[in-house]
Amino acid sequence: MTAPASSLVSSLITRARSRLPGALGTRLLLFLGAAIVLTALLQGLLAYRNALLQTDTLFDYQMQQTAFALRAGLPVDARGRPQGTPPEDENHEFIVQVWTNEGLRIFESALGAALPQMAVLGFADVPARGTVYRVFSLQTRSQVIQVAQDMRVRRTLARDAAWQSLLPIALLAPVLALAVWWVVRSSLAPVQRVRRELATRRPQDLAPVPAEGLPDEVRPLVAELNALLQRVGQAFEAQQHFVADAAHELRSPLAALKLQLVALQRAPDAAAHDEAVQRLSAGIDRATRLVEQLLTLARQEAQGTVQGTAQGVQGMQGQHGAAAAAPADVDLREVVEQALADQAVAAQQHGLDMGLSESPQLRQSFAVAGDAQSLQMLVRNLLDNAVKYVPQGGRVDVGWRSDAQGRALVVEDSGPGIAESERELVLRRFVRGPSAASAASAGQQAQGSGLGLAIVQTIAERHGARLLLDRSPTLGGLRVQVMWPPVSGR
């Protein structure tokens, strides 16, 4: 097929599909109704043709049997038809003639039939009396028997018999169509029930859709819909908690800013004015940092996991043919070096020795599939926490390890650490462990918002990793490990 012809056929198919009704039930009724009509027409045509052939065969058989019945012969001296038969009783539709071998007609059922004397033995179509006769001729020892039937009469009788055979089809086709309509409507009734239920739901109603009575072909769709509703409900609930927590946490910084602004307005001299300005600037920085962390946490929670995103993209490619790139491998060495460069100034200001670990076991980096920006944010938050809570002159090391337990990004410091009983608690939003709070209140560093480790855990989970907090065996402070499963085959 040439390109223009293929394009034309494709265009016609697309146009035909666009004109099809959108309702599944209507489509089924349309296609099944068309199939029933075409099948009935084809069956009727075949039945009509077979009825004609069978009728012809039956009539030929009757003519043949009539001739065989006269084989015994008639008296040689018989002449014509019996006297006294009225002309209106003569039947020219079915004629019987008997001839002697010498050519003398000794019997004819209708006077003046004028059928040829020397007919072909067997069956033949003979024109006579303005029509065509079907003639069967049989020769015996002393006679020739001819049985003839008018083809017009034969065709009329055959058509009547054929039409009688079509009557059951004509009666059953509407019954079959009605049965198909009932089956389609009954089969799609559960789907219509689901549609009506979803149409009448309120926006906040995310309850699962009942799957009872649904066809097996529809159950997977409803199961996926229920799974989606569950995920949406969880996301909606998480956002509600997030908004409530954020509103609660923002009250204190905003109230502090208001008090600092009042103190600035009431400053009695230049020294008090400068001190109030510094406090107000520090308060604005803390509020800004808190808002940035809130937005970061919201953005990370709104994203799907890297693996789920890849699967979703592959599903879309399979359905729509859209091309999309899979998550790229990110070299964690580049991520860590960039994060260390970003935190270098803050580390110097607080007198911290921050850099890559010198331990040979923590020098071999690796790459993971994910988003480089999110992973940089993960490392920056870990380093930012260390800057806040490690005392001046302390040390912060970053490294990697790979063993049978898995692969890990390791950040450890010489700070006060976190007590074992508090490690699960500090992973929650807006929660700061008592140890960190007491250290901060002692004036070691600026207080945090309690969001840093929550952001780290969220990003780690999005990348198929888990967060492990323990005590550093070398520096004595907190050790944070972001752990990925081991590479298969190792």
> pLDDT tens for residues 289-348?
777 777 776 776 666 533 443 344 344 344 444 444 457 889 999 999 998 998 888 899
As beta bridge partners, residue 198 has: none
Cα dihedral angle (347, 349, 353, 356), rounded to 10 degrees? 30
The Cα 145–Cα 66 span in angstroms is 10
The Cα 75–Cα 89 span in angstroms is 24
Alpha helices by DSSP H, 200-305 = 219-265, 270-302
What strand order describes the sheet that includes 406-413?
353-356, 395-403, 406-413, 478-484, 466-471
- State both tokens at 350: 């607080």
The Cα 233–Cα 205 span in angstroms is 9
Pairing of strands 353-356, 329-331: unpaired
DSSP letter assigned to residue 438:
H
The Cα 422–Cα 259 span in angstroms is 32
The Cα 478–Cα 146 span in angstroms is 121
- Contact between 39 and 191 (Cβ < 8 Å): no
Residues whose CB is less than 8 angstroms from the CB of residue 123 and which lie 6 or more positions away in sequence, other chains included: 60, 134, 135, 136
As beta bridge partners, residue 352 has: none
Pairing of strands 395-403, 353-356: parallel
Model confidence over 272-288: pLDDT tens digits?
Answer: 888 888 888 887 887 78
SS (H, E, C) 440-467: HHCCCCCCCCCCHHHHHHHHHHHCCCEE
pLDDT given at position 307: 42
Looking at residue 155, its amino acid is R
pLDDT given at position 321: 42
- Look at residues 325, 338, 322 and name the one whose alpha carbon lies nearest to residue 369: 325
Q: Model's pTM, two decimal places?
A: 0.49
**Is 479 buried (19+), middle (13-18) or exposed (0-12) by CB count in 10 A?**
buried
Helix (H, G, I), strand (E, B) or coil at 29: helix
As beta bridge partners, residue 483 has: 408, 466
pLDDT given at position 479: 94
- Contact between 440 and 446 (Cβ < 8 Å): yes
Residues of the chain with pLDDT under 50: 77-85, 305-325, 439-446
As beta bridge partners, residue 123 has: 136
pLDDT given at position 26: 74
